[in-house]
Amino acid sequence: MKKLFAFASTLLTLAAFIATPALASGFNQYGYNYGARIFNGTALNWCLASGAAKSACENSLGVYANDQLVMKWNAQWDNCNNNGYDNPTYCLGAWDDNEWNGKVSNGSGQNWHYKIIWVGSLAENSPYWQPGGYSVWGNYEVVMDQGTDPNVGPGHMWFAHAVPNGYGAVLAQ
């Protein structure tokens, strides 16, 4: 279970630092489409896009290297990353969605889905905080963290289920 949390933490950390180059159209060789704000590729492709060597990626990802990863984020996420992480002008409404599928050939067998929103540096004391989530990176909240891991046991697990756990809840306040 400790390994699972360490891995989840790594995945979430990666999402926080999605690079924001000039918006381009179409998918690049790694699986990023910055114009559409989506990544669709393997964990190995995602790691290679960061500039790391293939051997370093394979070593750090291990059994997760072949897993399929789909990340989606909105323009506010880019604005927040580009303008500091605590200014509602740039960050309010920022969200990221990560879907991890290890149920592929030579994959980890795990399947996870994360929803992350910006809440500001007040974390749990923020007016944007949704009860049931957990704080990550100081300015963000994981409002949904759920999935399956055959190495831990059968069935579905929830680590965060904020109410509400949609992306529009913060803007509706």
In a domain, 25, yes or no: no
Neighbours of 163 (CB within 10 A): 11
Q: For residue 170, which amino acid is it?
A: V
Residue 171 belongs to some domain of the structure: no
Asked if residue 48 lies in contact with residue 30, where contact means CB atoms within 8 angstroms, the answer is yes
Range of the domain at 104: 2-11+31-161
Q: How far apart are the C-alpha atoms of 13 and 57, rounded to whole Å?
A: 15
Which tens digit of pLDDT belongs to each residue from 51-92? Answer: 999 999 999 999 999 999 999 999 999 999 999 999 999 999
Given this model, what pLDDT does residue 163 score? 85
Would 111 be classed as within a structural domain?
Answer: yes
- The answer to whether residue 131 sits within a structural domain is yes
What percentage of residues in the chain have a pLDDT greater than 70? 83
Q: Which token pair is 96?
A: 């990221």
Q: Is 137 within the bounds of a domain? A: yes
- Residue type at 16 in one-letter notation: A
Confidence of residue 23 (pLDDT cuts 50, 70, 90): low
| Total domain count, the chain | 1
Closest CA to 131 of 172, 162, 159, 168: 162
